[in-house]
Amino acid sequence: MDKKTELTARNFPSAQQEAEAAVPPSRYDGPDSAYKLAFADPDFLLREELRPVRMQLELLKPEMVQNEQGIESTIVIFGSARIVAPEMAEQAVETARAAGNADAQRAAEGQLAMSRYYAEARRLGRLVTEKSRDLAVPLYVVTGGGPGIMEAGNRGAHDAGGKSIGLNIVLQHEQTPNPYITPELCFQFHYFGLRKMHFLMRSVALVCFPGGFGTLDELFEALTLIQTRKSRRRPVLLFGRDFWTRLIDFDLLVETGMISPEDTRLFRFVETAEEAWSVLDAEYGFGLAENVKTEFNNDL
């Protein structure tokens, strides 16, 4: 060991080294033995009493990995897992039409109408990633990591040759990660609360496409945190005015005193990826000199 290595050498073995060295004597290597190291004992770590430890680990792992990957600022894209790509929707319409199934054709045509949101989410993911290359502080797309709108956001970033993040959740009927997430930034969560916290921790904007209960949960938690000033104010963009105003009567909430008139200014409606980017540009001044990457601030 040279002198320089001696100055930086660890004074204690790593936990991994200890775990590899901890071979139990044969008398104590059975399934009922308590001899295993606590941090290397899955049965122990999965006990009910260890929930606080598991929650801490689930908070720490994505935080540490994103720090190591240099992820500081993100654009969150929420939306339905059930909205499919236009080409898939068109194929479903043709299949139903050929089969003479009127009900299936009607459902497929509904999916085709909604598929425009997939196209816009994909275009937004690409636009954010392309524009980010010129910024002193790059922006990264983050989604829930599943199919539908989530896939579209990651796919757009992938189209542009950039990194993107996926925050998957363990569910009985879903969901496997879509194939467009950067592998080293593809995470899996058990706790919805910690997953939503990671959506918000680095976000500079939240872009919400049409969706169901999960999308509404994510949207309203974000709005509540901003409204109550538990989280800093930032753009919340709702894609598709017609969808959102039919789904939620915001005017009724104001008229009945359930929210204040100024609360309706916590979000705004957009229709295209380009319009969404224009709103973000106006908010953050991405075109200003101090926000543009140059030879002088390239290492920021």
**Residue 92 to residue 112: CA distance in whole angstroms:** 9
Q: How confident is the model at residue 293 (pLDDT cuts 50, 70, 90)?
A: low
Higher pLDDT among residues 13 and 164, named by residue: 164
Length of the chain: 300
In angstroms, the Cα distances linking 163 to 80, 143, 157, 166, 298 are 22, 12, 7, 10, 18
pLDDT confidence of residue 9: 81
The partner residues of 168 in beta bridges, in order of sequence, read 188
Q: At 126, is the secondary structure helix, strand, or coil?
A: helix
**Residue 160 to residue 149: CA distance in whole angstroms:** 17
In angstroms, the Cα distances linking 259 to 239, 252, 262 are 21, 9, 8
What one-letter code names the amino acid at 10? R
- CB–CB of 163/182 below 8 Å? yes
What one-letter code names the amino acid at 111? Q
The mean pLDDT of 89-111, rounded to a whole number, is 92
The partner residues of 205 in beta bridges, in order of sequence, read 75
| Domain chopping of the chain, boundaries | 72-85+116-291
**Residue 154 to residue 63: CA distance in whole angstroms:** 19
Give tens-digit pLDDT for 193-234: 999 999 999 999 999 999 999 999 999 999 999 999 999 999
Instruction: Please give the model's pTM, rounded to 2 decimal places.
Output: 0.89
* Among 38, 59, 41, CA closest to 190: 59
- Whether the per-residue pLDDT at 3 is higher than 90: the answer is no
Give tens-digit pLDDT for 235-273: 999 999 999 999 999 999 999 999 999 999 999 999 999
Task: Please compute, for residue 84, the number of CA atoms within 13 A of its CA located in the half-sphere on the CB side.
Answer: 14
Q: At 23, is the secondary structure helix, strand, or coil?
A: coil
Among 3-7, 141-145, 225-229, whose mean pLDDT is lowest? 3-7
DSSP secondary structure string, 25-43? PGGG-STT---S-GGG-HH
Geometric angle at alpha carbon 258, from 255 and 264, rounded to 5°: 75
Q: Quick one: CATH architecture of 72-85+116-291? A: 3-Layer(aba) Sandwich (3.40)
